[in-house]
Amino acid sequence: MLRRMYDWVMGLAASKHAPLSLFAVSFAESSFFPIPPDVMLAPMVLAKPEKAWRYALLCTIASVLGALLGYAIGYFLRDFGLFMMAKLGHPTSLAQLQCWSDHNWLWFILGKGLTPIPFKLVTIASGILLYSLPIFIAACVVTRGARFFLVAFVVKKFGPAMMPIVERRLALFAGLLIALLVIGLTASHFLGGGGQGGACGA
């Protein structure tokens, strides 16, 4: 089953519909979708390395547009935004979020945009907090662009040489990917203020 899924993703990455699918996933991931676009970006760069920068740019644009949707959810639908964050184990009161934001929100956006932590948490919270929209957009462009262009660079430069190893050790690499996602989600809970300790505790 793992092999079939791997072959399907690689086939989709090389298809004519791949850029549209990549755009959709990147857009949705910044506001409500749980799967990071990296899982499509990497095989697409492997399939067509000459388009690596184009794909990274596409990811960045879509992710920033999706971030604006996440911001709008927090800004216009505050209660729903708080509900979404509560479902992901994050602070549910406006007072907690405001305390959270006191610790340099700009650096918080930049840091979390580079990690496996779901970016939707940052975009929705920014809208709830009425954070400066121009600074929010600029930070999203910087952090998401850095992440996707870095992924594209690494895969373009080292991907072809690693492919035989990945294909022979597919189960191992899949397990490592799942482990990284779990670590990212766990870190988002504790670093994002979901724990009980710290200056912004309940």
pLDDT digit string (tens) for 9-48? 566 666 778 899 889 888 988 887 767 788 788 888 888 8
| Helical packing angle, 120-128 and 52-76, nearest 10° | 40
User: Quick one: tokens of 72?
Assistant: 């709008």
43 closest CA partner among 60, 66, 64, 19? 19
Report how far residue 194's alpha carbon sits from residue 137's, in angstroms, rounded to the nearest whole number: 25
Q: Where are the domains of the chain?
A: 8-191
Distance in Å from the first CA to the final CA of the chain: 44
pTM of the model: 0.74
pLDDT tens for residues 153-169?
988 888 766 655 554 55
The pair of structure tokens assigned to 175 is 């397990």
